[in-house]
Structure formats: structure tokens, C-alpha cells
Amino acid sequence: AIDKAFTARAFDMSTAELAGYSQPGGPFFGIHSSHGGRVAV
């Protein structure tokens, strides 16, 4: 839960919205491996 809150604040959007952008071919694909693995979608 803490990592999801961090993610939402760091990207200024909900993790549900970010999940759409993090799909293969999306602009944030692979984002889950950034920030030391702290990003959660």
C-alpha cells in the first residue's frame, strides 16, 4: 500500500490510470522496475 501511494504521488495520477500507460507499447512500459522497484501498478 505504501508503494502504491508513492507511485500515485510521484506520477500525480492514480495507479489504475498509470496501469493503462504501462502496458506493452505504452509510454511507461517497464515503469515497475524503476525507482528501485518502488513503483507499483
pLDDT score for 34: 80
Query: Which H or E run includes 3?
Result: helix 2-11
CA 5, CA 27: separation in Å to the nearest integer? Answer: 21
pTM over 0.85: no
Compare 20 and 36 and report the one with higher pLDDT.
20
- DSSP one-letter code for 38: T
CB 18 within 8 A of CB 27: no
Q: What is the DSSP string of 10-37?
A: HHTS-HHHHHHHTSTTSTTTTGGGSGGG
**pLDDT tens track for 11-21:** 899 999 999 99
What average pLDDT does the structure give for the chain?
A: 89
Confidence of residue 22 (pLDDT cuts 50, 70, 90): very high
Residue 25 clears pLDDT 90, i.e. is over it: yes
